Amino acid sequence: MSAQDKEMHREPMEVSLIHHMAKRDHPHPPGTLPALQACIEAGARIIEIDISLLADGEFALYHGPLLDHKTTGSGPIRTYTSEQVRELRHNHKGEITSVPMGLLPEALALLSQYPGPVELQLDLKPDVYSPDEVLPRLVRNVRPVKDRIRITSPSDWALRRLHKLDSELLLGFDPLLYLEADLGKKREPGVPPFRKGAYDYWDDHPLASRKWGPPADYLAARAEAIYAQVPEGMIWYIHGGLLEKIFEDGFDWIAYLHALNSQVDAWTLDAQHPEHAALVRRLIAKGIDRITTNDAPALADTIGTNARY
DSSP H or E stretch at residue 202: strand 201-202
Residues 6+ apart with CB under 8 A from 213: none
Whether the Cβ atoms of residue 269 and residue 292 lie closer than 8 Å to each other: yes
Whether the Cβ atoms of residue 218 and residue 199 lie closer than 8 Å to each other: yes
Examine the pLDDT at 129 and tell me if it is beyond 70: no
Examine the pLDDT at 5 and tell me if it is beyond 50: no
DSSP 215: H
pTM: predicted TM-score of the whole model, two decimal places: 0.93
Examine the pLDDT at 3 and tell me if it is beyond 90: no
Examine the pLDDT at 75 and tell me if it is beyond 70: yes
For strand 46-53 and strand 59-61, is the pairing parallel, antiparallel, or unpaired? antiparallel
Q: Mean per-residue pLDDT for 263-290? A: 95
Examine the pLDDT at 193 and tell me if it is beyond 80: yes
Q: Mean per-residue pLDDT for 182-195? A: 86
Q: Is 59 helix (H, G, I), strand (E, B) or coil?
A: strand
Q: Is 111 helix (H, G, I), strand (E, B) or coil?
A: helix
Residue 131: per-residue pLDDT = 57
Residue 285: per-residue pLDDT = 93
Handedness of CA 225, 228, 232, 238 (dihedral sign): negative
Residues 6+ apart with CB under 8 A from 91: 29, 69, 70, 71, 72, 97
- What does the CA dihedral 163, 168, 173, 178 come to, rounded to 10 degrees? 30
Name the CATH superfamily, with its identifier, for domain 3-308.
Phosphatidylinositol (PI) phosphodiesterase (3.20.20.190)
Question: Each residue of 100-124: pLDDT tens digit?
Answer: 999 999 999 999 999 889 999 999 9
Query: In which band, very low, low, confident or very high, does the pLDDT at 211 lie, cut at 50, 70 and 90?
Result: very high
Q: Where are the domains of the chain?
A: 3-308
Cβ atoms < 10 Å from Cβ of 181: 19
Query: In which band, very low, low, confident or very high, does the pLDDT at 7 lie, cut at 50, 70 and 90?
Result: very low
**Residue 164 half-sphere exposure toward CB, CA atoms < 13 A:** 9
Q: Exposed, middle or buried, 235 (CB in 10 Å: 0-12/13-18/19+)?
A: buried
Q: Mean per-residue pLDDT for 50-70? A: 94
User: C-alpha angle 66/139/39, rounded to 5°?
Assistant: 60
The CA radius of gyration of the chain, in Å to the nearest whole number, is 19
Report CA-CA distances (Å) from 253 to 33, 47, 224: 35, 24, 10
Question: Each residue of 135-175: pLDDT tens digit?
Answer: 999 999 999 999 999 999 999 999 999 999 999 999 999 99
Handedness of CA 301, 119, 234, 237 (dihedral sign): positive
Q: Is 1 helix (H, G, I), strand (E, B) or coil?
A: coil
Examine the pLDDT at 229 and tell me if it is beyond 70: yes
What's at 201, amino acid-wise?
Y
Q: Mean per-residue pLDDT for 178-189? A: 87
Q: Mean per-residue pLDDT for 245-261? A: 98
Average pLDDT, the chain: 92
Examine the pLDDT at 8 and tell me if it is beyond 50: no
Residue 17: per-residue pLDDT = 94
Assign 3-state DSSP to the chain and report helix, strand, coil percentages, each to 5.
40, 20, 40
Q: Which of 78-87, 117-126, 131-140, 242-251 has the lowest mean pLDDT?
A: 131-140
Phi, psi of 38 (to 5 degrees): -65, -40
